[in-house]
Amino acid sequence: MTARTPRLGITMGDPAGVGPEITAKALARPDVVATCHPVVIGDGAIMAATLEILKSPLRLHVVREVGDCAFAPGTLECLDLANVDAAALPRAAVSAEAGRAAYAYIERAVRLCQSGEIDGIVTAPVNKEALAAAGVPHSGHTEILAKLSATKDFAMLLMGRELKVIHVTTHVALRRVPDLVTPERVKRVVELAQQTMNFLGVARPKIAVCGLNPHAGEDGLFGDEEKIAIIPALEAARRDGLDVYGPLPADTLFSRARGGEFDIVVAMYHDQGHVPVKTLGFNYDEGTGTWTGLSGVNVTVGLPFLRVSVDHGTAFDRAWKGIANPESMIEALEVAVRMLGARRAP
């Protein structure tokens, strides 16, 4: 370990879900903790119960301040907010108590980033119903983090092993999407795509942009959003020197990107970008009834600090059984270390 080893805050997510388990499993891997100093921001009693269920070799070290972490081998550091009753909390179920706790972990992580006590945030999954029950007025991590950091220009990036996709819109009703696809917003997301690839070490990425409509509008036959909003944005981006292609039909674009023709794809709405990434990264075994692959991570681009997340939900059907797949959490930690290294590079 060196002084440059990044310190990552891992928010525990909804304590009733798989977040505590996938975090404990990931941090039990020597190859993961060799590259970073991780501290779980959550509840000590929940993490203790998790380690017991897993029969984990890790020793729990509960702290009240990040500065009290020892980061000793074989130890799981937990910044304990002590904000849930671990014995009474309904496990694998929606509750307002769990929603309030999950929000508090995120809030503390943002403050720690802003104060420089941690270098970045890796988030375990939260549950939108639980957040709503707790009265949180935001639909998910992306919106919460933007609000807490007063960030206006941000975007959701999904990174799988074969695709990188950034989104113009995310958690909004489909009927609202055409109004939100403006020249200004499309151009800004293209710029964020460029910034993302620069952080990943690609100086001049090939950025492909989806059309909003079928066949990218077919020259206005199936809609005019491409002519009105997307094409002007791409022309402006090209004038700024970006290597941008599109708008292209989404039904073939992702295969082309997967084949290596493009480095990153700009999707217009949530499912347009999420479906291909999760289809490639998520594998379900009907025979065993388990997910054998959960590859993919979520990065909020545009924040004043790094945030990487798993790309799946709280999975109440698998929570607290010792069977949750930690693959996405392991990838999230690896991506966070990689992106922090790129940001620090001269």
Supply the DSSP string of 212-250, one letter for each residue. Answer: SSGGGGTTTTT-SHIIIIIHHHHHHHHHTT--EEEEE-H
227 Cα distance to chain centroid = 32
Q: What is the pLDDT of residue 342?
A: 63
Considering the segment(s) 7-151+303-344 as one domain, its CATH architecture is 3-Layer(aba) Sandwich (3.40)
* Top-level class of domain 155-276: alpha beta
Same-fold call for 7-151+303-344 versus 155-276? yes
CA dihedral 6, 161, 187, 244 (to 10 degrees): 120
Query: Would you state the pLDDT for residue 20?
Result: 98
Instruction: Compute how many other C-beta atoms are within 10 angstroms of the C-beta atom of residue 225.
Output: 23
Q: How many residues does the chain have?
A: 346
**Domain positions in the chain:** 7-151+303-344, 155-276
Q: How far apart are CA 121 and CA 144, in angstroms?
A: 13
* Contact (CB, 8 A) for 169 and 270: yes
- What residues are paired with 164 via a beta bridge? 159
Whether the full predicted model's pTM is greater than 0.85, yes or no, is: yes
Q: Smallest Cα–Cα separation from 10: which of 344, 268, 307, 346? A: 307
The span from the CA of 3 to the CA of 120, in Å, is 16
Beta bridge partners of 298: 158, 309
Tokens describing residue 163: 């695709």
pLDDT tens by residue, the chain, 346 residues:
344 799 999 999 999 999 999 999 999 999 999 999 999 999 999 999 999 999 999 999 999 999 999 999 999 999 999 999 999 999 999 999 999 999 999 999 999 999 999 999 999 999 999 999 999 987 789 889 999 999 998 999 999 889 999 999 998 999 999 999 999 999 999 999 999 999 888 999 999 999 999 999 999 999 999 999 999 999 999 999 999 999 999 999 999 999 999 999 999 999 999 999 989 988 777 887 766 666 779 999 999 999 999 988 999 999 999 999 999 999 999 999 988 886 555 4
118 vs 115: CA distance, rounded Å: 8
Q: How far apart are CA 233 and CA 164, in angstroms?
A: 20
DSSP strands (E only) in 171-319: 207-210, 244-248, 264-267, 282-285, 290-294, 297-301, 306-310
Phi-psi category of residue 334: left, alpha or beta, with phi > 0 → left and psi -120 to 50 → alpha? alpha
